[in-house]
Structure 1
Amino acid sequence: MTNIDWDRVSKGVARENKKMIWRPYGIPTVMDLEHSCFHDAPISKPWTEIPEQMIVSVAITGAFFRKDQNPHQPITTEEILASAREAAAAGASAIHIHVRDEDGYNVLSPERFEAVIQPLHEEFPDVPVDACLVPALDGEWEKMSDVLDSGLLDAAPINSTATYIGDSLFVKPTPILLEKTRKILEAGSVPEIAVYTDADVSNADRYLFKSGLFKSGAIWLVLPALPGCSPMENPRQMVAGLTRTVEAIRDVDPEAVIMVCAAGRASTHLATLAAVMGLHIRVGMEDTYYKWPHREDKLTSNLEAFQLAQQLAEVVGRRVATPAETRAIMGLKSRTEAAASR
C-alpha cells in the first residue's frame, strides 16, 4: 500500500489557501454550450446525423419461434393478420410478414400471403408491406415468383449471408442472391439487403455493389444477436458489434438507409442503441421473444413491441415515421403509382 505524505498535502492545502484555481473569464456568463466570449463563431450546433423521423417496422412472426417458446406467438394466418392490423392501427411505419403452414412452419404460400397482405393494403393503403421470401424447398422458387408477381409486396429482403442461424445452416448461393434481386426489381418492389454479420456486408459489396446491381442509398436490414449472427452477449459486444457493422455498411454505401432489428436477447436495448445512433429500427416477434436482455419477460404482442418503440423514440427526441414518410425514405412509390407502372 502506498503511503501518502499527509504533511506535504497539508502544506499544499495551505499554499492554495484552501481554494481551487478559478478564473471566470466569461463573466457574467460562466458556461455557454453554444458560444465563447472570445469570438462570435458557434462552438456547438445540433447534431445533423440524427434524423427526427425514425422508421419503426414491425415484424409479426418470422419463420422460427413457436408457441412453446412464446405462447403469444402469432402462428395461424388469422393470428398473423390480426397482429399486423393491431400494429398498423397503432401507427407502425411498416409491416414485415411471414406466413406459416398448418403445423406452424414457415411456408411460401401465395394464398396465405394474399390472405394476410391484401386486407392490410385495403385497410392501411399507405403502410409499406414487405415479406421474407426464402426458397428452401422444392417448388418454393416458383411460389416466391408468384408472390412477387402478384404485386402484393412493396419490398422484400435479400440475404447476402452464409451462416448458421440457431441450429440451421442458412446460405444464399451467389447465383440465387443475384437472380432473386433481379426478380424483386422486375416486380417493381425494393430489395432490402439483410446482413447478420459484418462478413455479409463484404458479400453485399462484392456481389451487389461492385457488380453495379446496387447504387448508394440502398435499404439495409441489420439482424445481429441471434445465435450464429454477430454475437451480442453483453453490452460491450452489442455496442462494438453494431458500430462495426454500421461502419462497414457506410464504407460500402455512404447514403445507406439502415434499419436495425431488435433481435435475440439484445432486443430492446439493441433498438435503443440504433435509435441513439440515428438509425431506423425493426421490432416485433419475428426476431425475439424477449422484452429486455437482462430479464426473462416475454413479449405479449407485437403491439407491445411497437409501443415500447414509440416510448423509445420519444425518449431520444425522435418520432415514429408515418407510412407516407417511410415510403419517401425508402424510395417507394404509392401503391397506385406502383400498380400503374407494372
Structure 2
Amino acid sequence: MQTNKIRWDVIEQLSKEHGMLSKTFFYGLPEVTDPVHTAVATDDVIVQPKWDISDKVVISTAVVGSFYSKNGNPNQPITPDEIYNSAREAILAGAPIIHIHVRNEDGYNRLDPKLFNQVIGSLKKEFPDVMFDCCLVPRYEGDWERMLEMLDSKLIDVTPINTTATYCGDMLLTKAPHIIIQKARLVQEHGIIPQIAVYSDGDIDNADRWLFKTGLVETGATGQPSHWLILADLPGGSPMPTKSGMVETFMHLHNRIKEIDKDAVIMVCASGRASSYLATLAVLMGCHIRVGMEDTVWKWPHKDDKIENNAKTFLDYKQLCALLGREVASPNDYRKLIGLPLK
C-alpha cells in the first residue's frame, strides 16, 4: 500500500486537535432517520413516496417466431404439433397470453389459417380464457386474403403492426405505408387490438406519422392507451452491445414512445443477446414483457446457454417479477389494460 503522498504530520495534528469522533447532530429526535416524513414539515409531506409502477405485469409467452431454426436452438418448436404442445405446456404452467407463429413443412414461417386453427383453435377450446396474439405479415401471394380470413376467424385478440423497414439479420423486412395503414384499420374494425411493433426509433416515428397523427389509432389522450412492442437487439434493430448500451437504447425507445402517448402500454421483448437482462430492466421500469423462443435463443447475455423450454422460461420470469414485487396479470387484467371486453 502506497502512503508516501499522505501528509501524515497534518493527519496527526488534526487528530489531536479535533479528536476521532464524527460530528453528529440529531435534529429529528426521537427519530434518527424517518423514512417517510421529516421533522421540519407537516405529516402530509412524504419524503420518499411510492413509485408509480403497476402491481400487475403482463407476460406474453412467444413460443416460436419466424426467425430461428433448430440450427440456432435445437429446442425450437417447428412443427404444428411441437408448437401446440409447447404452447399448451406454457398455459398449464400459468401463462395467460400466448404469441404464436406457424411454420410450413420446410420449417418456414407462413400465414396459414389452417395451421393457425390447428394450433390456436384446439387451445382455445381447452383454455377459453387465455389470450392469443400472432403475427399476420402478408409476405407471399394470397397472404392478404389469408390475413383477412384470420381476422374473421376470431382466433386472436392482439396482433402486431410492424411499422418497420429494416434488415433483420440477412433479410430485408419492409412494410409499405399503405399496407401498415390498411392493416391497422382492418384489425381495429375486427375488434382486435393493434400492437405497434418497433425495432428502432425510426419505426416509432413511422407509427407516429402514419397511425397516431392521422388519428387512425388512438392514444391515451383521445381514448384507450396505445399498445406498443419494443423488439430491439435483433440484428438490424437498435443495438444493445453492452450493459450500458442496453440501458441507453431501451430508455431512448421508451421515452420516445411516452412522448407520443404518456399512457402507452409498452411490452418489451426479451430479445437478442440482451435477453433476460432486457426483460428485467423492462419490469423495473414498470413495463410488460414478452419472453420465449421467438425473440432470442439465449438465456443470458454473458453465456451461450440456450432456452430449453417455453413453460420453464415463463416460470422463471414469473419468479423474477415476484421478486420485484409484481404479479403476473391475468387474461382479464390484460384485456382491461388494452381495452378489450372482459370474459
Common fold: TM-score over 0.5: yes
Secondary structure of 1:46's partner?
coil
Match of residue 316, structure 1, among 324, 327, 343:
324
Paired residue type of 1:68: N
Residue 44 of structure 1 is matched in structure 2 by: 48
Q: CA deviation at 1:272?
A: 0.3
Contact 2:181–2:211 (CA<8 Å) still a contact in 1? yes
> Residues 209-220 of structure 1: matches in 2 within 5 Å?
209-216=212-219, 217-220=225-228
Which residue does 2:29 correspond to in 1? 27
Whole-angstrom distance in 2 between the partners of 1:129 and 1:276:
25
Which runs of 5 or more residues in structure 2 are unaligned? 220-224
Aligned to 2:12: 10
Partner of residue 334, structure 2? 326
Q: Which ranges of 4 or more aligned residues in structure 1 deviate by more than 3 Å?
A: none
Residue equivalent to 2:222? none
- Give a deviation string over 1:128-167, Cα, whole Å, max 9, x none: 1111011111111111111112121111110011111111
Following the alignment from structure 1 to structure 2, what is the Cα–Cα distance between the partners of residues 224 and 144? 25
TM-score normalised by L of structure 2: 0.95
Query: Any idea what the Cα deviations from partners look like across 1:35-62, whole Å, max 9, x if unmatched?
Result: 11222222122112x1000000001100
The answer for the alignment partner of 2:250 in structure 1 is: 242
SS of the residue aligned with 1:245? helix
- Name the CA distance, whole Å, in 2 between partners of 1:14 and 1:138: 89
Aligned with 1:255: secondary structure? coil
- The answer to whether the 8 Å contact 1:126/1:334 transfers is no
Q: Aligned partners of 1:224 and 1:13: how far apart in 2?
A: 56
Letter in 2 for 1:152: L
Does the alignment pair 1:257 with 2:262? no
Answer whether contact 2:184 2:217 (CA < 8 A) is retained: no
Using the TM superposition, give the Cα deviation of residue 334 of structure 1 relative to its aligned residue in structure 2, in angstroms. Answer: 4.3
Q: 1:108 aligns with which of 95, 103, 111?
A: 111
1:280 aligns with 2:288: yes
Residue type of the partner of 1:148? L
Whichever residue aligns with residue 47 of structure 2, its letter is I
Asked if structure 2 preserves the Cα contact closer than 8 Å seen for 1:92 and 1:323, the reply is: no
8 A contact 2:164–2:174 mirrored in 1: yes
Cα offset, 1:250, TM superposition: 0.3
Cα RMSD (Å) of the superposition? Answer: 1.3
Mean CA deviation greater in 12-21 or 94-103? 12-21
How far off is 1:323 after superposition? 1.2
**1:1-342 map, 5 Å:** 3-40=5-42, 41-48=45-52, 50-216=53-219, 217-334=225-342
Amino acid at match of 2:24: W
Residue 28 (structure 1) shift:
2.4
Give the fraction of aligned pairs with identical amino acids, expressed as a percent: 47
